[in-house]
Amino acid sequence: MESKGVVKENAGGIQVDRRTFVKGTAAVAMALGVGGFLDNIFGQQVKAHEPAPRPTKWDEEFDVVVVGSGTGALAAMVAKDAGFSAVILEKAATWGGTTAISGGVLWVPNNYLMKEAGIEDSLEEAFEYMKKASFGQSSDELIHAYIDNANPTLDYLVQNGHKPKIQVPYADYYHGSIDHSRKLGRSVIPPGLGRELMRTVRAAVDARGIPVYLQTPAVSLITDESGAVVGVWAKSPAKGKISIRARRGVLLATGGFDHNKEMREHFLPGPVYYPSAVPTDTGDGILMGMAIGADLRNMNEVWGWPVKEITIAGKKMGSFDGGGERAKPGSIYVNRFGQRFCNESANYDATTRNFYWWDNSIMDWRNIPAFCIVDSEYRKRYKFGRQKPGVEQPWMNRSDTLEELAGKLGIDAEGLMATVERVNIFAEEGVDRDFHRGEKPFDRLTYGDSERTDLKNPCLGPIKTPPFYGVRVYPGSLGTCGGLRINGNSQVLTPYGKVIDGLYAAGNTAGSPAGAGYPGAGATLGAGMIFARIAALHMAKKN
């Protein structure tokens, strides 16, 4: 890493130093204004993410430094068990990141619960499935690493108090579309969801005496003359800027760039509304890696899900519309022309893709915003914007006629009425001739309402009982899933495929092993925890 002098520049009224780098993606990083990402931490402006000089004396020393307390936390436990010291740095005041607010589901093919339940599976089939389900944006190396290390990771969690069950009725997300899927069993969930999972992990971390520094963001990586990562600079609430040596390696697990507007705009192919990740996931780890020349992968991807725009206590927010609502009979998505544009009962990630149609006839996103339309039969049975049946809210735009509803939401009324008429015929016939809703086993098994004996298709119901309800829906995300390019050891690589010694990434800070797909519920936490464990095992082997 060469420094070509220092340029003074005014960013937001503050004088900052910007070094110019010549190698690798550092140039891209500069173009994005890495030097301009000023974090206002503890009321003090600090310059984040630029590689900082090596300290003359380290403030603290550990074998393994884990940055981020979500899925990465597992690495600290594994390192400690191998006899090494570890620390977890967390920017937020709270533990567990997005992982702790998640469903806590892990996607683990051929797991012990499947065996107990007599569900047949094999790692070979899982590999074949995941290879197709990552749509060309992963690699055999990463997929093998995922599949081969999934069970050891789950078993390790279970040894440490994790008590999952098979997630019923979750089929693989492309079940019926991609071969070697399973209709049940690969997704496992703890009863208390992500909160319970991360409570278990925290107890295990505490039991090992691993320090967790909250409100202590890592701000930049420290490298030696060879370019190897040997530590991090962090901001401590009590001590200010501190240098922390990592004798064996640094694991960047700072989540995605969900809340970094500039990165979202420059990397993602379209807008993402109301991102669901914790607000501290601002791409820090990715930027820190870029700043020392790391390569990137999968930056155009998110784990997508649609969100309904609701208002609670005067505050607009996105309520995720995973499938429990959207996919049920009597609910459809339409665009402003009143036209449907997707199979509403497909998995949420695939459904989110259908929002991104840039239509050159109107020079705009044709399906953004979209609208979820339901009738009173639907509202009697299912939640709407997470509100139970019977709960009325002004943002539901309750209307006696579809025309009135279209007027309130700005939808073409004729278009909407024609669509609903057509959907009602489909419902009667049990066949969605436009988007094949309810044809794939996934739709029926996972999201359909099998108790509706009044329907020919458990995913398709008529929309005819007034009053009608409608809300805006947008493409949202559970997390971005592009980031630093890693190999099967979770080691970060340069654009030339060279390993950056001492630097590891996992979770949404790394280019996802699932690429542009979402193989099944739990694949995102899976990618995080599996690769965090792999990283720690690799660091432990270093001599």
Partner 1 sequence: MVFLFSELIDYVDERMDVEMKQVTAVIFLVSFLIWGTSAAQAQTTQKDLIHGLGCDSCHDTEVPQKLEGNGVCLSCHGSYSEVAGLTSKMEPNPHVSHLGEFDCVACHKPHGESEFVCNQCHEFEIKMPEAAN
**Cβ 523 to partner 1 shortest distance, Å:** 23
Task: Please report, as residue ranges, which positions from 377 to 436 form the binding site for partner 1 (by CB under 8 A).
Answer: 385-387, 391
Q: What CA–CA distance (Å, rounded) separates 461 from 331?
A: 8
Per-residue tokens: 106: 């892990």
* Cis geometry, peptide bond prior to residue 458 (ω within 30 degrees of 0): no
Stretch that binds ligand FAD, among 90-98, 122-130, 333-341, 455-463 (CB under 6 A): 90-98
Per CB under 6 A, the list member of 11, 92, 228, 417 interacting with ligand FAD is 92
Per CB under 6 A, the list member of 34, 52, 77, 105 interacting with ligand FAD is 105
387 binds, among ligand FAD, partner 1, none (CB under 5 to 8 A by kind): partner 1
Q: Which of 66, 100, 77 is nearest to 156 (CA)?
A: 77
Contacts of 178 (CB under 8 A, 6+ apart): 129, 132, 133, 172
Q: Which is nearer to partner 1, 300 or 311 (CB)?
A: 311
**Cβ 539 to ligand FAD shortest distance, Å:** 17
Q: Are strands 86-89 and 212-213 parallel, antiparallel or unpaired?
A: parallel
Q: Which of 128, 102, 106, 104 is nearest to 185 (CA)?
A: 106
Per CB under 8 A, the list member of 5, 315, 394, 451 interacting with partner 1 is 315
Task: Please report, as residue ranges, which positions from 374 to 433 form the binding site for ligand FAD (by CB under 6 A).
Answer: none
Burial 254-286 (b: 16+ CB within 10 A, else e): bbbbbbbeebbeebbebebbbbbbbebbbbbbb
102 binds, among partner 1, ligand FAD, none (CB under 5 to 8 A by kind): ligand FAD
Q: Which is nearer to ligand FAD, 253 or 463 (CB)?
A: 253
Cβ atoms of 399 and 405 closer than 8 Å: yes
* Cis geometry, peptide bond prior to residue 169 (ω within 30 degrees of 0): yes
Q: Tell me the residue ranges of DSSP E strands in 26-59.
A: 38-41, 44-47
Q: What CA–CA distance (Å, rounded) separates 243 from 491?
A: 22
> Residue 99 interacts with ligand FAD (CB under 6 A)?
yes
Q: Which is nearer to partner 1, 339 or 508 (CB)?
A: 508
Q: Which is nearer to partner 1, 101 or 228 (CB)?
A: 101
> Residue 195 interacts with partner 1 (CB under 8 A)?
yes
Per CB under 8 A, the list member of 12, 314, 390, 394 interacting with partner 1 is 314
Q: What CA–CA distance (Å, rounded) separates 209 from 94?
A: 18
Per CB under 6 A, the list member of 50, 121, 172, 284 interacting with ligand FAD is 284
> Residue 217 interacts with ligand FAD (CB under 6 A)?
yes
302 binds, among ligand FAD, partner 1, none (CB under 5 to 8 A by kind): none
Burial 431-459 (b: 16+ CB within 10 A, else e): bbeebebbbbbbbbbbbbbeebeebebbb
478 binds, among ligand FAD, partner 1, none (CB under 5 to 8 A by kind): ligand FAD
* Cα dihedral sign, 524-351-280-265: positive
Per-residue tokens: 387: 């509100």
Residue 517 — φ and ψ, nearest 5°?
-120, -175
> Residue 286 interacts with ligand FAD (CB under 6 A)?
no
Per CB under 6 A, the list member of 34, 78, 130, 218 interacting with ligand FAD is 218
Per-residue tokens: 513: 């092993």
Q: Which is nearer to partner 1, 290 or 471 (CB)?
A: 471
Per CB under 6 A, the list member of 420, 478, 516, 539 interacting with ligand FAD is 478
> Residue 44 interacts with partner 1 (CB under 8 A)?
no
Size of the residue set binding partner 1 (CB under 8 A): 19
Per-residue tokens: 341: 């544009």
**Cβ 165 to partner 1 shortest distance, Å:** 19
Q: Which is nearer to partner 1, 318 or 519 (CB)?
A: 318
Q: What CA–CA distance (Å, rounded) separates 481 from 515?
A: 8
Task: Please report, as residue ranges, which positions from 94 to 123 form the binding site for partner 1 (by CB under 8 A).
Answer: 94, 101
Q: What CA–CA distance (Å, rounded) separates 69 from 103?
A: 16
Per CB under 8 A, the list member of 240, 279, 407, 430 interacting with partner 1 is 279
23 binds, among ligand FAD, partner 1, none (CB under 5 to 8 A by kind): none
223 binds, among ligand FAD, partner 1, none (CB under 5 to 8 A by kind): none
Per CB under 6 A, the list member of 37, 173, 233, 303 interacting with ligand FAD is 303
Cβ atoms of 234 and 219 closer than 8 Å: yes
Cβ-in-10-Å burial (0-12, 13-18, 19+) of 10 comes to exposed
**Cβ 526 to ligand FAD shortest distance, Å:** 6
Stretch that binds ligand FAD, among 68-76, 358-366, 400-408, 423-431 (CB under 6 A): 68-76
Cβ atoms of 149 and 533 closer than 8 Å: yes
314 binds, among partner 1, ligand FAD, none (CB under 5 to 8 A by kind): partner 1
> Residue 31 interacts with partner 1 (CB under 8 A)?
no
Query: What residue type is assigned to position 219 of the chain?
Result: V
> Residue 68 interacts with ligand FAD (CB under 6 A)?
yes
319 binds, among ligand FAD, partner 1, none (CB under 5 to 8 A by kind): partner 1
Task: Please report, as residue ranges, which positions from 316 to 355 form the binding site for partner 1 (by CB under 8 A).
Answer: 317, 319
**How would you write 188-217 as a 3-class SS string?**
EECCCHHHHHHHHHHHHHHHCCCCEECCCC
> Residue 138 interacts with ligand FAD (CB under 6 A)?
no
Q: Which of 288, 293, 287 is nearest to 227 (CA)?
A: 293
Per-residue tokens: 43: 């009321």
Stretch that binds ligand FAD, among 78-86, 173-181, 274-282, 323-331 (CB under 6 A): 274-282
Q: Which is nearer to partner 1, 386 or 456 (CB)?
A: 386
- Which residues contribute to the site for partner 1 (CB under 8 A)? 93-94, 101, 195, 199, 276, 278-279, 310, 312-315, 317, 319, 385-387, 391
